[in-house]
């Protein structure tokens, strides 16, 4: 992953976590917004209130949002309940209207994040402002594109910057609406530790019964907050009804989460266990390195004796034997199988490098 740039994040801003971003998928009417906001205020006190007013729908004919009129409603929500309010922007005109209306924050959606031209246009419209901006991950799992969008915004002077993980589209059947692919936001967090990363569990789930499990997973992975869609009558929502909760149900879900500390430096018992893991990780890497040296010898032998690299029978035998041994040791069959295939793939790569190395035109005696 490219890490050539460092994001300049306002540390006071990032220190405000957790960011609790709740509200309906879409602003539908003043009554819907005010009743939803009232329910959130009664349960949570202050939150960041979200609602989409421009909705990029997959097909025409779906509810595409109320447009500019919704900015007035959001402003009234802020004035009545003391919430900060935010909405989605997809172009420079949206940004200009939000700035003019005094909207507190904006996010850039997955369909917009996928296009660098759009993100650049929005970045330039925001230049010279201190409006907080969150960038959702692109629809597909390309972390460089996600990082590139963050860099464009940061390059326009946006220091109150955050990322939103909302999962990734996959063409094949999947239990979630969007595949979490947790390794991508984890990698983003590891490389930009001051960047707040929020988990939009609603768009990952696509169904409300999956939300509690995803919320706990996000907390366990130390996300900096949750974005959850809530509606005072979710079954009547004009968009994404199946993934929204009532404010009361949202409160029950959030109250049921297990909060874990991220500070382990002062915990001697945990540190001892982590040092043991570090030592075993080092040993595992050393063992794999030794294995690859033998693989290189095998590659040389195959090359000298004109033997093909891939031996399907040997691969099958190796996997069957080690899956049996691994499951006896308490490891899952799936884990052992996938691990062995990764190791075998690296073995193939190293043998291929040996067997297809260009010959020295001067011959071995010239070296």
- In this prediction, residue 1 carries a pLDDT of 43
Of 38-47, 103-112, 173-182, 358-367, least confident by mean pLDDT is: 358-367
Q: Are 258 and 219 in contact (CB under 8 A)?
A: yes
Tell me which of 275 and 317 has the higher pLDDT: 317
- In this prediction, residue 262 carries a pLDDT of 55
Q: Are 155 and 128 in contact (CB under 8 A)?
A: no
Nearest one of 64, 75, 50 to 202, comparing CA atoms: 50
Q: What is the pLDDT of residues 217-267, one digit of tens each?
A: 999 889 999 999 999 999 999 999 999 999 999 999 999 998 866 555 556
Is a pLDDT exceeding 90 seen at residue 336?
Answer: yes
Q: What is the mean pLDDT of residues 138-148?
A: 95
Q: DSSP string spanning 113-173?
A: HT-HHHHHHHHHHHTT----EEEEPPSSS-HHHHHHHHHHHHHTT--SEEEEE--B--SS-
**What is the percentage of the chain residues whose pLDDT exceeds 90?**
72
Among 1.20.59.10, 3.30.930.10, 3.40.190.10, 3.90.1200.10, what is the CATH number of 272-357?
Answer: 1.20.59.10
Integer distance in angstroms from the first to the last C-alpha of the chain?
A: 37
Identify the sign of the CA torsion 69, 198, 16, 20. Answer: positive
Alpha-carbon distance 31 to 231, whole Å?
11
Q: What is the pLDDT of residues 83-116, one digit of tens each?
A: 999 999 999 999 999 999 999 999 999 999 999 9
Is a pLDDT exceeding 70 seen at residue 367?
Answer: no
Is a pLDDT exceeding 50 seen at residue 364?
Answer: no
Nearest one of 223, 150, 129 to 214, comparing CA atoms: 223
Beta bridge partners of 197: 163
11-255 sits in which CATH class?
Answer: alpha beta
Q: Are 74 and 85 in contact (CB under 8 A)?
A: yes
Average pLDDT, the chain: 91
Q: What is the mean pLDDT of residues 334-342?
A: 92
Q: What is the pLDDT of residues 150-197, one digit of tens each?
A: 999 999 999 999 999 999 998 876 789 999 999 899 999 989 989 999
Tell me which of 352 and 366 has the higher pLDDT: 352
Q: What is the pLDDT of residues 268-313, one digit of tens each?
A: 777 778 878 887 887 888 899 889 999 999 999 999 999 888 888 8
Q: Are 226 and 196 in contact (CB under 8 A)?
A: no
Q: Are 114 and 74 in contact (CB under 8 A)?
A: no
The residue ranges of every structural domain in the chain are 11-255, 272-357
CB-based contacts of 74, cutoff 8 Å, min separation 6: 27, 33, 49, 51, 53, 85, 87, 101, 103
Of 115-119, 122-126, 217-221, 363-367, least confident by mean pLDDT is: 363-367
Radius of gyration of the chain (CA): 26
Query: Could you give the C-alpha distances from 241 to 134, 207, 295, in angstroms and in order?
Result: 23, 9, 55
Is the pTM for the entire model greater than 0.95? Answer: no
Alpha-carbon distance 46 to 158, whole Å?
25
Is a pLDDT exceeding 80 seen at residue 359?
Answer: no
Confidence of residue 365 (pLDDT cuts 50, 70, 90): very low
Neighbouring C-beta atoms of residue 312, cutoff 10 Å: 8
Confidence of residue 328 (pLDDT cuts 50, 70, 90): very high
Query: Could you give the C-alpha distances from 359 to 270, 305, 356, in angstroms and in order?
Result: 53, 16, 9
- In this prediction, residue 362 carries a pLDDT of 52
Q: Please tell me the number of Cα atoms within 13 Å of 351 on its side-chain side.
A: 22
Alpha-carbon distance 90 to 53, whole Å?
11
Alpha-carbon distance 165 to 297, whole Å?
44
């Amino acid at each position: 992953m490219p890490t050539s740039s460092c994001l300049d994040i306002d540390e006071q801003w990032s220190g405000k976590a957790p960011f609790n971003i709740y509200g309906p998928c879409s602003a539908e009417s003043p009554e819907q917004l005010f009743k939803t906001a009232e329910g959130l205020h009664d349960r949570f006190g202050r939150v960041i209130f979200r609602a989409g007013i421009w909705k990029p729908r997959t097909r025409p004919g779906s509810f595409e949002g109320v447009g500019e009129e919704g900015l007035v409603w959001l402003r009234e929500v802020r004035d009545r309940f003391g919430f900060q309010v935010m909405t989605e922007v997809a172009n420079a005109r949206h940004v200009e209207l939000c700035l003019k209306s005094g909207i507190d924050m904006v996010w850039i959606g997955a369909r917009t994040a996928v296009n660098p031209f759009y993100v650049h246009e929005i970045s330039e419209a925001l230049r010279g402002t201190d409006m907080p901006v969150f960038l959702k991950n692109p629809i597909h799992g390309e972390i460089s594109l996600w990082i590139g969008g963050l860099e464009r915004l940061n390059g326009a002077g946006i220091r109150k910057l955050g990322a939103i993980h909302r999962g990734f589209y996959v063409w094949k059947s999947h239990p979630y609406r969007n595949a979490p692919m947790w390794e991508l936001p984890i990698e983003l967090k590891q490389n930009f530790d001051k960047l707040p990363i929020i988990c939009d569990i609603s768009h990952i789930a696509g169904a409300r019964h999956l939300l509690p499990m995803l919320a706990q997973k996000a907390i366990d992975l130390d996300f900096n907050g949750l974005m959850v869609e809530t509606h005072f009558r979710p079954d009547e929502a004009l968009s994404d009804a199946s993934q929204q909760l009532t404010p009361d149900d949202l409160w029950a879900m959030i109250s049921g989460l297990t909060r874990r500390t991220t500070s382990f430096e002062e915990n001697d018992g945990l540190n001892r266990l982590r040092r043991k893991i570090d030592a075993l990780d080092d040993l595992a890497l050393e063992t794999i390195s030794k294995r690859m040296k033998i693989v290189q010898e095998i590659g040389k032998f195959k090359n000298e004796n004109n033997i093909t690299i891939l031996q399907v029978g040997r691969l099958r035998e190796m996997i069957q034997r080690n899956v049996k041994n691994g499951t006896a040791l308490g490891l899952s069959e799936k884990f052992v199988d996938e691990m062995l295939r990764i190791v075998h793939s690296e073995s193939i790569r190293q043998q291929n490098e040996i067997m297809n190395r260009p010959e020295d035109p001067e011959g071995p005696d010239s070296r």
